[in-house]
Structure 1
Amino acid sequence: MKAIKKINNNVAVCEDNNKKELIAFGKGIGFPSMPYEITDLGSITMTFYRMDKSYYKLLEEIPEEVFEVSALIVKRAQNTLDCKLNPNLLPGLADHINFALIRLKKFKKMKMLFSYDVEQLYPEETKLGKYAVDLIQKKLLVKLPESEITNIAMHFVNAEEENISESSEWNVELLIDEITNKIEIWFEVSIDRKGFNYNRFVMHLRYCLKRIEEKKQFVDDNGTLFTVMKEESPRIYECAVKISSMIENKLQAQITQDEILYLMIHMSRILKNNTAN
């Protein structure tokens, strides 16, 4: 196996003997100059194939310890759930956990709700969510709120199918393109649609649309964070409301405040990486 790109000290993009690209975990494999041949395959602890290359930069941004804990959680899910999982589950989950840790530091007193509906509908995924929260406390010494069991469980649910049902009477790609165009017009920006921040935004939209279609939206009672972000970024809020109305008209469903909040967060991320025309 050949290591071809460093992610962090213990993670690298590699190429196996069949020239297939993968993400490999192993103590110190990111230290040597790239590329190099990994002769001791016993040093490799985990491998993940078929991850979208657009997420590689995202993985470099996430703290090493958060990424490694996320990988352990995904590995547990792969061994537990009787189904194929989206190969991009790892970057999506790592990104979510990293944000949850940042949010906890900024809003320690914020109350969020555990969903008993999700627990009833998805018992195995909820068990994995509980395992994830316990592992984060053990490895990172941070106790996340109980609501994160629900949020992490939904990442597994969403990853069990890559696309929204084909029976949908509306075009997912077209709707995402319409949303992107509205953001570009509203803020007079040109969005880099090949960048990892945009791909992260698209991944969020896909999951959001699936949750709305299946009537399983996030309801976390994030009122404090929503109010703060609305006051700090009024134009992002106004644009998010317009986009939500567009989605509601298309799907004939009302979007929760929490889904609008997550939309605002992801919009903020892509806008920070674009220049006004």
Structure 2
Amino acid sequence: MSLGLFFWKSPFRGCQTSEMKIEKILNNNVVLTLNESNQETVVMGRGIAFQKKVGQDIETDKIEKTFIPEGQEVLENLANLYRDIDPDILEIATNVIKYAQGVLRLKLSNHIYLTLPDHLSYAISRTKEGLDIRNPLTWEIKRFYKVEYEIGLKAISLVKDEMSILLPDSEAASIALHIVNARQDNSDLGVTIRMTELVQDILNIVHFYYGMTFDEDSFQYTRFITHLQYFARRLLHQERRESNDDFLYDQIQKKYQKAFKCTERINDYLLNVENTSLTKDEQLYLAIHIQRVTTED
């Protein structure tokens, strides 16, 4: 099932929760209700519909998440998804999301409550059928998104403990991408994947230009990766700015000549694969980071 049809608003607020009634039961943990504006609203919580019937009050102390799907078609697709997925998978996905938010200390976008259960369901089905489809970006994801990858390993562990199914370690990388995507305010997963590829390609250009291997545990390397991730995100989302600081640009070009030449290689790559070129700001800050990561002791 494609999830491209889903669009999520912020969790609803201001509803008179004491009057919330169950309009439809999707499973033991998910129901539909109407808010004070008469909008159909998804309400999630462990056991929130257990031994309940349509028309009964929702126990507010069991509510963990609420959100409003946009459009009837979206609502129907949502209902089908939550009705068809194994409740154990939904519970595992919810626990992974809670764990991720605790580790990352932030709230993830609402769409993760759909994309992650859907992905886990598909991954478990493939594993049961003996199909081992590896994520080609596993190595890159382990390097660039270490925390999210560890969350992915936690998800694999939960699936093993709760369902006695051992997912391949590469699934941790795929789960990590969903977490990364949910951190970026509902960005398209394809953009997240392309970001990862861009970062790796730029690292390769620097690696081969200097003929050196990076110390991946160093502070400057971590800073460089973070800079590349934000750069790739801005480039793909077309959120680029130009300060036109010609003085600083000229100073960096003179001071860090080799690093600046390396950015020209990066610029050639971007022209070839993305049909775009570096701005002066992007070029000078890339040069600064390249200089730091290639000269640290």
Stretches of structure 2 that go unaligned for 5 or more consecutive residues are 1-19, 200-271, 275-297
- Using structure 1 for the length normalisation, give the TM-score: 0.55
User: Does the aligned pair in 2 maintain the 1:7–1:56 contact within 8 Å?
Assistant: yes
Could you say which residue in structure 1 is the equivalent of 2:273? 252
Q: Which amino acid aligns with 1:27?
A: G
Q: Which amino acid aligns with 2:22?
A: A
Stretches of structure 1 that go unaligned for 5 or more consecutive residues are 165-205, 218-250, 254-277
Give runs of aligned pairs for residues 83-162 of structure 1, distance below 5 A. Answer: 83-108=106-131, 115-162=138-185
Using the alignment, how far apart are the partners of 1:94 and 1:252 within structure 2?
Answer: 33
* Number of aligned residue pairs: 176
Using the alignment, how far apart are the partners of 1:93 and 1:109 within structure 2?
Answer: 19
Q: What is the CA-CA distance between 1:61 and the residue it aligns to?
A: 1.4
Could you say which residue in structure 2 is the equivalent of 1:212? 194
Could you say which residue in structure 1 is the equivalent of 2:49? 29
Could you say which residue in structure 2 is the equivalent of 1:3? 22
Equivalent residue for 2:87, pick from 43, 60, 64 = 64
| CA spacing shift, 1:124–1:104, aligned 2, 3 Å | same
Using the alignment, how far apart are the partners of 2:35 and 2:25 within structure 1?
Answer: 15
User: Does the aligned pair in 2 maintain the 1:16–1:22 contact within 8 Å?
Assistant: no
Identity of aligned residues (%): 22
CA displacement 1:150-208 (0-9 Å, x = unmatched): 111111001111355xxxxxxxxxxxxxxxxxxxxxxxxxxxxxxxxxxxxxxxxx312
Q: Which has the larger radius of gyration?
A: 2
Residues 80-89 or 131-140, more deviating:
80-89
Using the alignment, how far apart are the partners of 2:111 and 2:132 within structure 1?
Answer: 32
Equivalent residue for 2:69, pick from 28, 47, 52 = 52
User: Does the aligned pair in 1 maintain the 2:24–2:54 contact within 8 Å?
Assistant: yes
Q: Which amino acid aligns with 2:118?
A: D
Q: Which amino acid aligns with 1:150?
A: A
Question: Relative CO higher for 1 or 2, CA cutoff 8 Å, sep ≥ 6?
Answer: 1
Using the alignment, how far apart are the partners of 2:198 and 2:121 within structure 1?
Answer: 23
| CA spacing shift, 1:83–1:9, aligned 2, 3 Å | closer
Q: Which amino acid aligns with 2:102?
A: N
Q: What is the CA-CA distance between 1:12 and the residue it aligns to?
A: 1.8
3-state DSSP of counterpart to 1:3: coil
CA displacement 1:26-68 (0-9 Å, x = unmatched): 3261543212213x544x1x52222536223211111111111
